[in-house]
Amino acid sequence: MNLEKTATEANDIMLVRSSHGRARVTHAVVVIFLEFFAWGLLTTPMLTVLHETFPQHTFLMNGLVHGVKGFLSFLSAPLIGALSDIWGRKSFLLMTVFFTCAPIPFMRISPWWYFALISVSGIFAVTFSVIFAYVADITEEHERSTAYGLVSATFAASLVTSPAIGAYLSAQYGDSLVVLVATVIAVADIAFVFFVVPESLPDKMRLTSWGFPISWEQADPFASLRRVGKDTTVLLICVTVFLSYLPEAGQYSSFFLYLRQVIEFSPASIAAFIAMVGILSIVAQTLFLSVLMRTIGNKNTVLLGLGFQLFQLAWYGFGSEPWMMWAAGTVAAMSSITFPAVSALVSHCASPDQQGVAQGMITGIRGLCNGLGPALYGFIFFLFNVELDDMHPVAGRPTQKIEKSVIPGPPFLFGACTVLFALIVAVFIPEHHRLAEAKTCSTRKSSSTSTAHAQSASPLATPTSDAEDIEPLLQDSSM
């Protein structure tokens, strides 16, 4: 009976992947592209609205707004990931896209409501978590690193032209038109998810879980962090993600402001910079990532990406001239291979019915970084008195300039230090789980196949031994 049930579940998965033929990686790619293309259009208007709303301590307030959003994402990611494992991906994909894009029209309606909604939208702003679980449902293990690279490259592709288009429309027709276009694209993305995107999780895998409710243990993000400590491999991966994404989150929230104020980039230069980094990131995450994964392996690809990120952040920290930023941007594009490589590493180790939980855990760590990183960068900028003194200089009047210092970008140098620690930690990540851990997983699978999915869906199932209670979340993908 157990063998029959296992065969039936495997059949279901293959049905979604092959003969069902509806759920495809291209669905995930379109959803990500439209969502971030809409936000990319708002790059220039965002700088203006941010300075007009918070004329004093702009960097600090920007960090706090994005910090609240990131911390809420951290709190909600485990629950959304676990629920999507049971009720399917589509409904939660629809929810995350809707609430992530909801603040866009309020940029012109009410800036205060806009920033308030950005903060609160963090509860559902975990699109990448659901997307990566969606991709894991419909791809084989050997295909996932390439698929994750494609999804991450799509994020970069969405930013290749959208900031430039947004800057042009803003200069020619005003910010209101840019916000309108972004809103239309966001609505189109929501409609695409609702009408076109199919469910990726096999029906029977979802239906057999309806009787098992989600407990507080699964919804508690701090519980997932405590569970991380029970498995060495998971702990090392999560610490690496935290230390490497903390500066990336801070950089993403404030770098365009930094280019505008300290390096004195024009809006056109900022748009061109984003386009260059986006194009190079696409090449890195599609061509180079797949080659590196095949030649040097998953772990070494992560280490290489962290090395590029360390070099990039150090260059941002000490660079004081525009050409230095352009050069460091090329290195930044190569560092973009890190996250898809880490996601592939996690996915290869997680069981099919734990993809949402595993990716939700990583997204939760990133959400925590999205809370701490912007706030930390904003505070460091505040400590060094970096502010937006004059966004629109008047003709004939010299713009106030910040004195060039030995370290023009202190937050970026701090980020380089944290990435150095991430690189050291990542060295100790094993290529595979230890044999003892894998054996524990294998023993449990062979002895209780009929209840495996139920136990993964709900911690209410009674463990039969202490060994099960400390079973690693991630399992050896070779089992």
Are the C-beta atoms of 50 and 162 separated by less than 8 Å?
A: no
**How confident is the model at residue 182, as a pLDDT?**
95
229 shares its domain with 157: no
177 shares its domain with 268: no
Token representation of residue 145: 């690193």
Look up residue 276 and give its amino acid. M
CB atoms within 10 A of CB 86: 23
Distance in angstroms (rounded) separating the CA atoms of residues 156 and 160:
7
**How confident is the model at residue 349, as a pLDDT?**
67
Residue ending a domain, choose from 200, 235, 253:
200
Residue 210 domain flag: no
User: How would you label 362-395 residue by residue, b for 16+ Cβ within 10 Å and e otherwise?
Assistant: bbbbbbbbbbbbbbbbbbbbbebebbbeebeeee
Domain containing residue 415: CATH number: 1.20.1250.20
284 shares its domain with 141: no
What number is the average pLDDT over the span 142-168? 82
Whether pTM exceeds 0.85: no
Give the pLDDT band (50/70/90) at residue 278.
confident
Residue 283 domain flag: yes
DSSP calls for 421-476:
HHHHHHHT--SS--HHHHHHHHHHHHH-GGGHHHHHH-TTSPPSSHHHHT--SS--
pLDDT tens per residue, range 359-410: 667 766 776 787 788 888 888 877 876 654 444 443 343 444 445 555 677 8
187 shares its domain with 281: no
Residue ending a domain, choose from 138, 166, 200:
200
**How confident is the model at residue 59, as a pLDDT?**
74
Mean pLDDT of the chain: 75
**How confident is the model at residue 372, as a pLDDT?**
83
Look up residue 155 and give its amino acid. F
Domain that holds residue 67: 22-200
Give the pLDDT band (50/70/90) at residue 207.
very low
Token representation of residue 230: 């029970």
Residue 465 domain flag: no
**How confident is the model at residue 311, as a pLDDT?**
94
**How confident is the model at residue 308, as a pLDDT?**
94
Residue 438 domain flag: no
Residue 301 domain flag: yes
195 shares its domain with 228: no
232 shares its domain with 189: no
Q: Classify the C-alpha dihedral 204-205-207-211 as positive or negative.
A: positive
What number is the average pLDDT over the span 257-275? 81
Q: Number of folded domains in the chain?
A: 2
191 shares its domain with 227: no
Residue 337 domain flag: yes
Residue 119 domain flag: yes
pLDDT tens per residue, range 67-95: 888 788 777 777 787 788 778 889 889 99
Closest CA to 165 of 85, 272, 74: 272
Residue 342 has pLDDT above 90, yes or no: no
81 shares its domain with 139: yes
**How confident is the model at residue 106, as a pLDDT?**
92
189 shares its domain with 252: no
Give the rounded distance of the alpha carbon of 147 from its chain centre: 15
**How confident is the model at residue 5, as a pLDDT?**
46
Closest CA to 157 of 46, 47, 285, 258: 285
Are the C-beta atoms of 116 and 339 separated by less than 8 Å?
A: no
Token representation of residue 350: 């997680």
147 shares its domain with 263: no
Distance in angstroms (rounded) separating the CA atoms of residues 131 and 192:
14
Token representation of residue 406: 């030995």
Of the listed ranges 26-30, 229-233, 331-335, 371-375, the one predicted with least confidence: 229-233
Distance in angstroms (rounded) separating the CA atoms of residues 300 and 426:
9
Residue 81 domain flag: yes
pLDDT tens per residue, range 31-51: 999 999 999 898 888 878 887
Residue 250 has pLDDT above 70, yes or no: yes
179 shares its domain with 242: no
